[in-house]
Amino acid sequence: MGGARSRAVALFVVVALSVLVATGSAAPATAGPFAVKTASLTQVGQQLRWTVVLDHSFSGSGLREDHRSLCLRLLPTRPRLSSRQLCVAPPRSDHGMLRLQLDRVVDGRVRAGKTIAATIARPSAGALTASFTPAAVGLGFRSLRWQVSSALGAPACVPSGAASARGSASGPRSTAGAEPCAVLYPAQPTLARLHTPKLVGCVARGQSLVFNGSPKRREIALAFDDGPWNDPPTIDFVNLLARYHAPATFFEIGDQISTYDRTGSVERKMLADGDMIGDHTWTHPDMVGLSPSQQRSQLELTAAAIRRATGFTPCLWRPPYGDISDQLDSLARSLGFLTIYWDIDPRDWSLPGVAEIESNVIDNAHNGAIAEMHFGGGPRQETLAALPDIITTLRHRGYKFVTVAQMLGLRMIYR
């Protein structure tokens, strides 16, 4: 009797395992596309943030293996602009991250594109949050319409009955004229009103005295002192860096702003190009020799001048001559500044020649380096002439150019 019971239990286990092997999962199969519980597309500073929550857990490889897709459709409001969609793609490797692939939709046909730069997070097994810039998808800060598509493709797609009519309890069901096995959320494309963000500040965090960034990231920051200036004009530096797509950080002397950038147009272009502006005091004194009230005045007057010219309040400062004390560092931090030093110094202020400036920066480059150079305080044609070779050589060696604020991961404030 006991042997018969054991054989029956064993037979049940074998049958159950056979079912699991056949289905590939202990979870019940889902006949139609996964329903969308919630979705949103919002602007956060310079980024667009897409958030979607499905009624079912998913992975990039799982979507592909089950012939499923999860896409954000972007529908420009202007005529003659093609629609596009961002679709969740599996990682390129076993330990990689999910990707977003940009496809264009022309005359109803999807033209597969490439992976875009995006930051992707998984708040839960059924949710995804992705952040990317409008430029990454070929759009500007214009209003657009959006819609999420959760679809089931061939051969799994059976466009009939409950499978094609499936939708979330609070959301839309499949839309006529769309794929027969697709859920669109919301039922009609929703307008996202975008605006060109204006940078108004940054938030200091981390240690107050900074010499370099992370040795783990192949980044380098070019940081220029003593401007704005007219020999050569500061705009020459700004335009050259923009042509080479190399953002930089400019530490400015407050008393010179009204003389060499009277309208603030050059400084506003810096920020528009992705450069960063820092405080280099009002008159470039040896700050350690001043009283605390004089030190405060030097920093606050310059920050106010930058703010009047651009609407931006800096959170970085660099001490003239590199002179610092614990008291001065603490004062600057209390005013919302990080004290920024450097670990590459080509001594370009001494006019050593273009080749010497180039070789000094290139030979001393390393992960997280901050290079101190000058865009004012004297004739700076040598420094300007050295930049193209510095940028192209280091970029060829795998370096990415960033601002000091980017290197430190500081939060930018936009409105």
Which residues are marked as active site? 225, 374
Q: By the 8 A CB rule, do 115 and 101 touch?
A: yes
Q: Return all residues near 185 (Cβ < 8 A) that are at least 6 apart.
A: 36, 39, 147, 148, 150, 168, 171, 172
Q: Which of 203, 202, 168, 165 is nearest to 185 (CA)?
A: 168
Q: To which H or E segment does residue 185 belong?
A: strand 182-192
**DSSP character at residue 204:** -
Q: By the 8 A CB rule, do 74 and 83 touch?
A: yes
Q: By the 8 A CB rule, do 248 and 241 touch?
A: yes
Phi, psi dihedral angles at 289 (to 5 degrees): -80, 0
Q: Which of 220, 408, 404 is nearest to 317 (CA)?
A: 404
Q: By the 8 A CB rule, do 59 and 27 touch?
A: no
Distance, in Å, from the CA atom of 248 to the CA atom of 46, rounded to the nearest integer, reads: 18
Q: By the 8 A CB rule, do 148 and 73 touch?
A: yes
SS3 369: strand
